[in-house]
Amino acid sequence: MKAMVLAAGKGTRLYPLTGEIPKPMVPVAGKPVLQHIFELLAGAGVEETYANVHHLAEVILASYGERYRVGEMMVKTLPEDELMGTAGGVKRLAGCFDETFVVIMGDALTDVDLRELVVFHKESEALVTLALARVADVSRYGVVEQDSEKNILGFREKPSRRETTSNLANAGIYILEPEVLGYIPENTFFDFARDVFPRLLEAGERIAGYEGDFYWSDVGTLETYRTAQVDALSGKVRLQIPGERRGKSLWVGRHAHLHPTAIFGGRVVLGQDVMIGRGATVTGDTTIGRGCRVRPRATIKRSILLPGSCVGYEAYVDDCIIGPGYTVGPGEQIRSGTFTRGTSSRDGESPLPAWSRSRIGAGGGDALQAS
């Protein structure tokens, strides 16, 4: 079986992080979301996967190149000079899909059982099967209406609660028959949910909805990104956390240097080449990415440090997201904010100036090598 991973979008709601790294490369539990998706596909027996890239494509290409292997699965990374929409991007590769195939968003975290989903699709004899997830706030998602036979009857894009009785969101995970590609025009910006699926319903084709027991988060905002991080470390979502596991809740990457006096508590992931200094404290659900430096007597709680960032001597970081290559100055105290080299802000406050603009080699892609 083959798959298409859609990884070309901008992820504007995750700004300022996506000002420096593409949304699929944002790390969760020490690996980019995109890597988790690749591992999900490989684990389901997918043999060949194509991934289209556009926004900050050079960051993804620096990590994966044009070809990349995950187990027995080959990944081919294809730059998209002009955004073509979710369906338009797949149409460009129509010649590659001559049997049942998977399309999945490369910027959402999930542990859906793709083998089970394919079985459901085959048994339903539908042209398309969508994985569906129940959500609390329908206004943030594309919502589907479904009958008792699991047939999808219609779609509503980000409706208010008054406009729909459904709370089933389109999770952006599709099993398709190649005939679907005939409904997508050549060289045209085209979207599956807005354009293709309504066309299929008008033509009388069957679209099935699969509501299984699986985790799904679109990691679409800074809030949901933090939540996905906690879910990953707590085991709520099934994925592979990189590094050597020490005890129940500490994962340590290769060549990481931990001073014997450093204190760790809660669930903590330390990436490759991380350095934790004398008397430093790292607690809560915290991930520290590849090449990060935590200086002596610094304190980090419930935070996410992206690759190459640094927390200075006796600095205090609580409930923060620290962007790649960013330096928290010695003695600085920051709480509940997102800090990157270009834009830094505390939750609910105006942007603050960055303290440092030091750079790292391959940006967010560095987290990939922690496994």
d(CA 174, CA 131): 6
| Terminal-to-terminal C-alpha distance of the chain | 26
User: Is position 235 within any domain?
Assistant: no
Asked if 175 contacts 100 with a C-beta cutoff of 8 angstroms, the reply is yes
- Around Cβ 1, how many Cβ atoms within 10 Å? 17
Asked which of 187, 220, 253 is the last residue of a domain, the reply is 220
| Structural domain includes residue 200 | yes
The answer, yes or no, to whether residue 349 has pLDDT greater than 60, is no
Residue 102, Ramachandran bin (φ over 0: left; ψ between -120 and 50: alpha; else beta): beta
Give 280-283 contacts, CB < 8 A, sequence gap 24+: none
Q: Is residue 234 part of a domain?
A: no
Integer Cα distance of 18 and 260 in angstroms: 36
pLDDT at 140: 73
- CA–CA gap between residue 157 and residue 180 (Å, rounded): 21
Domain count for the chain: 2
User: pLDDT at position 325, please?
Assistant: 93
Q: Does residue 335 lie within any of the structural domains?
A: yes
Residue 351 pLDDT more than 60?
A: no
Q: Are residues 245 and 177 in the same domain?
A: no
Q: In this structure, is residue 15 part of a structural domain?
A: yes
pLDDT for res 12: 85
Q: Which residue has the higher pLDDT, 12 or 321?
A: 321
- What is the domain extent for residue 60? 2-220
Q: What CATH number did the domain enclosing 93 receive?
A: 3.90.550.10
Question: Are 24 and 117 members of one domain?
Answer: yes
Range from 7-21, 97-111, 129-143 that averages highest in pLDDT: 97-111
| Strands of the sheet with 333-335, listed across from one edge | 263-265, 281-283, 299-301, 316-318, 333-335
Q: Which two tokens stand for residue 169?
A: 């969101």
pLDDT at 323 (0 to 100)? 94
295 and 204 within one domain: no
Does 309 lie in the same domain as 253?
Answer: yes
Q: Tell me if 315 is assigned to some domain.
A: yes
Mean pLDDT value of segment 49-66: 93
| pLDDT range class, residue 9, cuts 50, 70, 90 | confident
Yes or no: say if 310 and 317 are a contact pair by the CB < 8 Å rule: no
CATH number at residue 299: 2.160.10.10
Q: Within this chain, do residues 81 and 202 fall inside the same structural domain, yes or no?
A: yes
| pLDDT value for 343 | 60
- 268 and 309 within one domain: yes
Same domain, 208 and 319: no
Q: Please give the pLDDT value at position 347.
A: 46
- Residue 226 in any domain: the answer is no
User: Do 257 and 195 share a structural domain?
Assistant: no
Least confident of 14-18, 304-308, 309-313: 14-18
Among 254, 228, 248, 247, residue whose Cα is nearest residue 239: 228
145 and 181 both lie in a single domain: yes
Tens of pLDDT, residue by residue over 130-160, are 999 888 777 777 788 888 888 898 887 776 6
Tell me whether residue 134 is in a domain: yes
Strand partners, 69: 74
Contact 318, 303 (CB under 8 A): yes
Q: Which residues contact 244 (CB under 8 A, 6 or more apart)?
A: 251, 252, 253
293-294 and 310-311 beta bridge pairing: parallel
pLDDT at residue 353 is higher than 80:
no
Q: What is the pLDDT of residue 355?
A: 27
- The mean predicted confidence, pLDDT, of the chain is 88
Query: Is 158 in the same domain as 285?
Result: no
Same domain, 268 and 204: no
- State yes or no: cis peptide before 16, omega within 30 of 0: yes
Do 260 and 139 have their domain in common?
A: no
Q: What is the pTM of this model?
A: 0.89
